[in-house]
Amino acid sequence: MFGKGWKGRELLHLRVISPHDRTDDVLEVLKGQVGVAHVVVFEKAAVQPEGDAVEADLARECVDDVLLQLSKLDIDHTGAITLEALETTLSDSADTARADAPGHGHEAVVWEELISRADDDSHLNWVYLTFLTLGLMIAAVGVVTNSPVTVVGAMAVAPDFGPLAAFGVGLIGRRWDLVRQSAGTTAVGFGVAMAITTVFMLVLEWTGLVTIRASGLSNQSQVDFIYEVGPFSLIVALLAGAAGMLSLLSAKSSALVGVFISVTTVPAASYAVVAATLLDWGRAIQSIEQLVVNLVGIMIAATVVLAVRTRREHRNGEQGRPLSQR
């Protein structure tokens, strides 16, 4: 009775505010592109900036081509271009457009969308710092109470993967501002979170809630995995980085949570804090080494996965790269 009902991110809704003298060119772009449906024009509907409003639904596979053609018309400067995901579409025209578009919608990378998301996730702000600090505090409690369950819970809280993925996006997209931003957010974020967690641990010790100074870390066998650096530390970090980037590209949030709880970035930072407060510099240094190995491994794997994906989508020397590189 109904069409296929395309769901999720397979179709995107495009809205273009076009100067009146460029509207025909915009329509020519849309009509000449496979994977486009439901083209609508509202003449003189736009007030700021002034112009016509043109709307259409696009299969993800053709979005980069459409954005490229519109940018050649200078629409992104003289007018505006916006995109939003469609949750459900019931239409034979949409079914035809999706079927005609080359490739698979769930695998298509829309570079401008990816860069925008990476930029949002890599900003150093109070939300990022708060979640990261809370994650370190929870993990520190897990260390002093010898509770691996608490440590795993802390790993799920921290938002540290966002800037690490943004680093790879910046490298492949040659967005050096994004590379600097993500690296700075990671360095400053962990530095601030570790400093606050140090104060937190000293307060717990002073109030008598924990007596870690008396017992030390020698009996913490359940959480020794946090600071013990070995070949599997890098292997797991590489696998997690690859899974994380794939989850971002396919919008699989459940898989991303799995990435959070598979690597010991936050636990390693918190263990370093606890060890440093006890002047156990050997374990503190090992924990920092574990942290660095995990961060570097995740960034390398995320970058490689994104490079492979964009290589697959490289068509005619245009697709597979941000508009700024074409």
CA atoms lying within 13 Å on the CB side of residue 205: 17
What does the pLDDT read at residue 251?
Answer: 56
Q: What is the pLDDT of residues 211-245, one digit of tens each?
A: 665 555 655 556 666 767 778 888 888 988 888 88
Can you list the pairs that 202-210 forms with residues at least 24 positions away whose Cβ atoms lie under 8 Å?
A: 202/277, 204/144, 205/277, 210/144, 210/145
Q: Please report, rounded to a whole number, the percentage of residues in the chain having pLDDT higher than 70.
A: 81
Q: Is the pLDDT of residue 50 over 60?
A: yes
Q: How many domains does the chain have?
A: 2
Banded model confidence at residue 1, pLDDT cuts 50, 70, 90: very low
Q: How many CB atoms lie within 10 A of CB 237?
A: 25
Reported pTM? 0.75
On the question of pLDDT at 130 being above 90, the answer is yes
Supply the pLDDT for residue 200. Answer: 93
Pair 65, 164 in one domain: no
CATH of the domain at 100: 3.30.70.260
Confidence of residue 9 (pLDDT cuts 50, 70, 90): low
Please say which residue of 68, 87, 108 terminates a domain. 108
Verify that 295 and 208 share a domain, yes or no: yes
* pLDDT attached to residue 246: 82
Of the candidates 108, 135, 157, which is a domain's last residue? 108
Containing domain of residue 22, as a range? 6-108
Residue 46 has pLDDT above 80, yes or no: yes
Beta bridge partners, 92, equal none
Predicted confidence (pLDDT) per residue in 88-112, tens digit: 888 888 888 777 766 655 556 677 7
Strand partners, 52: 18
* Range with lowest mean pLDDT among 4-13, 38-47, 126-135, 264-273: 4-13
- For the segment 149-156, the average pLDDT, to the nearest whole number, is 82
Query: Strand order in 80-85's β-sheet?
Result: 36-47, 50-59, 11-18, 80-85
Res. 303: pLDDT tops 50:
yes
Predicted confidence (pLDDT) per residue in 240-283, tens digit: 888 888 877 775 555 555 566 557 788 889 989 988 888 888 88
Same domain, 87 and 144: no
